[in-house]
Amino acid sequence: MNKALEQKLVERWPTWFDIGGDIRHTLMPLGFTHEDGWFDILWRLCADLEPLVAGHEFEVLQVKENFGGLRFYVRFDGLRLSHADDAIGRRIGAAMEESFHTCEICGKPGGLREERWIRTLCDEHASGEHTHL
Protein backbone atom coordinates (compact mmCIF):
# COMPACT_ATOMS: atom_id res chain seq x y z
CA MET A 1 0.00 0.00 0.00
CA ASN A 2 1.30 3.45 -0.73
CA LYS A 3 2.94 5.28 2.17
CA ALA A 4 0.37 8.11 2.28
CA LEU A 5 -2.47 5.64 2.92
CA GLU A 6 -0.37 3.71 5.44
CA GLN A 7 0.32 6.97 7.25
CA LYS A 8 -3.41 7.73 7.55
CA LEU A 9 -3.95 4.45 9.40
CA VAL A 10 -0.87 4.91 11.58
CA GLU A 11 -1.82 8.48 12.49
CA ARG A 12 -5.40 7.48 13.35
CA TRP A 13 -4.36 4.44 15.44
CA PRO A 14 -0.74 5.21 16.47
CA THR A 15 -0.53 2.69 19.30
CA TRP A 16 -1.72 -0.16 17.09
CA PHE A 17 0.83 0.02 14.28
CA ASP A 18 4.45 -0.06 15.46
CA ILE A 19 6.04 0.72 12.09
CA GLY A 20 9.34 1.55 13.78
CA GLY A 21 9.30 -1.55 15.96
CA ASP A 22 11.62 -4.50 16.28
CA ILE A 23 11.11 -6.93 13.39
CA ARG A 24 11.53 -9.80 15.87
CA HIS A 25 8.28 -8.76 17.57
CA THR A 26 6.18 -7.17 14.82
CA LEU A 27 6.26 -7.23 11.03
CA MET A 28 4.76 -3.74 10.74
CA PRO A 29 8.18 -2.20 9.91
CA LEU A 30 7.70 -3.96 6.54
CA GLY A 31 4.55 -1.87 6.01
CA PHE A 32 1.18 -2.97 4.72
CA THR A 33 2.16 -5.52 2.08
CA HIS A 34 -0.80 -5.29 -0.28
CA GLU A 35 -2.10 -2.80 -2.83
CA ASP A 36 -4.23 0.31 -2.19
CA GLY A 37 -7.62 -1.20 -3.05
CA TRP A 38 -8.13 -2.67 0.41
CA PHE A 39 -7.60 0.61 2.29
CA ASP A 40 -11.34 1.15 2.88
CA ILE A 41 -11.72 -2.40 4.21
CA LEU A 42 -8.86 -1.79 6.64
CA TRP A 43 -10.22 1.58 7.78
CA ARG A 44 -13.66 0.07 8.50
CA LEU A 45 -12.07 -2.89 10.28
CA CYS A 46 -10.01 -0.65 12.53
CA ALA A 47 -13.03 1.54 13.30
CA ASP A 48 -15.07 -1.59 14.15
CA LEU A 49 -12.31 -2.92 16.40
CA GLU A 50 -11.76 0.35 18.26
CA PRO A 51 -14.58 -0.01 20.84
CA LEU A 52 -13.79 -3.70 21.35
CA VAL A 53 -10.15 -3.13 22.24
CA ALA A 54 -10.51 0.11 24.23
CA GLY A 55 -8.73 -0.25 27.56
CA HIS A 56 -6.82 -3.35 26.43
CA GLU A 57 -3.35 -3.98 25.12
CA PHE A 58 -3.83 -4.23 21.34
CA GLU A 59 -1.25 -4.30 18.57
CA VAL A 60 -1.41 -5.10 14.87
CA LEU A 61 1.49 -7.44 14.06
CA GLN A 62 1.13 -7.79 10.29
CA VAL A 63 -1.15 -6.69 7.44
CA LYS A 64 -0.62 -8.42 4.11
CA GLU A 65 -2.08 -10.19 1.10
CA ASN A 66 -1.88 -13.96 1.01
CA PHE A 67 -3.56 -16.31 -1.51
CA GLY A 68 -5.68 -13.42 -2.77
CA GLY A 69 -7.02 -12.29 0.60
CA LEU A 70 -6.30 -9.77 3.30
CA ARG A 71 -4.50 -11.06 6.38
CA PHE A 72 -4.60 -9.03 9.62
CA TYR A 73 -2.68 -10.49 12.55
CA VAL A 74 -2.96 -8.95 16.02
CA ARG A 75 -1.89 -9.30 19.62
CA PHE A 76 -4.66 -8.70 22.19
CA ASP A 77 -3.80 -8.56 25.90
CA GLY A 78 -0.56 -10.38 25.18
CA LEU A 79 -2.11 -13.17 23.09
CA ARG A 80 -1.68 -13.51 19.35
CA LEU A 81 -5.11 -13.86 17.72
CA SER A 82 -5.92 -15.17 14.30
CA HIS A 83 -9.58 -15.93 13.59
CA ALA A 84 -10.85 -17.10 16.96
CA ASP A 85 -14.60 -17.32 17.51
CA ASP A 86 -14.93 -14.01 19.34
CA ALA A 87 -16.02 -10.50 18.41
CA ILE A 88 -12.53 -9.43 17.32
CA GLY A 89 -11.93 -12.58 15.31
CA ARG A 90 -15.33 -12.34 13.63
CA ARG A 91 -14.64 -8.78 12.48
CA ILE A 92 -11.20 -9.72 11.17
CA GLY A 93 -12.72 -12.71 9.39
CA ALA A 94 -15.44 -10.54 7.83
CA ALA A 95 -12.80 -8.10 6.50
CA MET A 96 -10.81 -11.00 5.10
CA GLU A 97 -13.94 -12.36 3.39
CA GLU A 98 -14.74 -8.92 1.94
CA SER A 99 -11.22 -8.73 0.48
CA PHE A 100 -11.94 -11.84 -1.62
CA HIS A 101 -14.59 -9.78 -3.47
CA THR A 102 -12.67 -6.49 -3.70
CA CYS A 103 -9.94 -5.67 -6.23
CA GLU A 104 -6.70 -5.34 -4.32
CA ILE A 105 -5.50 -2.62 -6.70
CA CYS A 106 -8.50 -0.29 -7.09
CA GLY A 107 -11.16 -1.37 -4.57
CA LYS A 108 -13.85 -2.15 -7.18
CA PRO A 109 -15.73 -5.47 -7.08
CA GLY A 110 -13.45 -8.33 -8.04
CA GLY A 111 -12.81 -12.02 -7.74
CA LEU A 112 -9.99 -14.47 -7.28
CA ARG A 113 -7.71 -14.76 -10.31
CA GLU A 114 -4.84 -17.13 -10.79
CA GLU A 115 -2.00 -16.50 -13.18
CA ARG A 116 1.48 -16.56 -11.68
CA TRP A 117 -0.10 -16.31 -8.23
CA ILE A 118 -3.57 -15.95 -6.74
CA ARG A 119 -4.90 -12.39 -6.39
CA THR A 120 -8.28 -10.71 -6.07
CA LEU A 121 -8.74 -8.37 -9.02
CA CYS A 122 -11.48 -6.63 -11.01
CA ASP A 123 -11.85 -7.40 -14.72
CA GLU A 124 -9.75 -4.38 -15.72
CA HIS A 125 -6.79 -5.26 -13.52
CA ALA A 126 -7.06 -8.97 -14.26
CA SER A 127 -6.35 -8.16 -17.90
CA GLY A 128 -2.77 -7.49 -16.86
CA GLU A 129 -2.72 -3.99 -18.29
CA HIS A 130 -2.55 -2.29 -14.90
CA THR A 131 -1.13 -4.97 -12.58
CA HIS A 132 1.38 -3.37 -10.21
CA LEU A 133 3.34 -6.47 -9.23
Spell out the domain ranges in the chain. 3-126
Sheet of 58-66: strands edge to edge?
58-66, 69-76, 79-81
pLDDT of residue 85: 55
Please provide the distance, in angstroms rounded to a whole number, between the alpha carbons at the two ends of the chain: 12
* Mean pLDDT, rounded, for 6-27: 95
How does pLDDT run across 24-65, given as a tens digit for each residue?
999 999 999 999 999 999 999 999 999 999 999 999 999 999
pLDDT tens column, 84-106 = 558 899 999 999 999 999 999 99
Q: What is the pLDDT of residue 81?
A: 65
Report field, pTM of the whole predicted structure over 0.85: yes
Please check whether residue 35 is in contact with residue 2, taking contact to mean a CB–CB distance below 8 angstroms: no
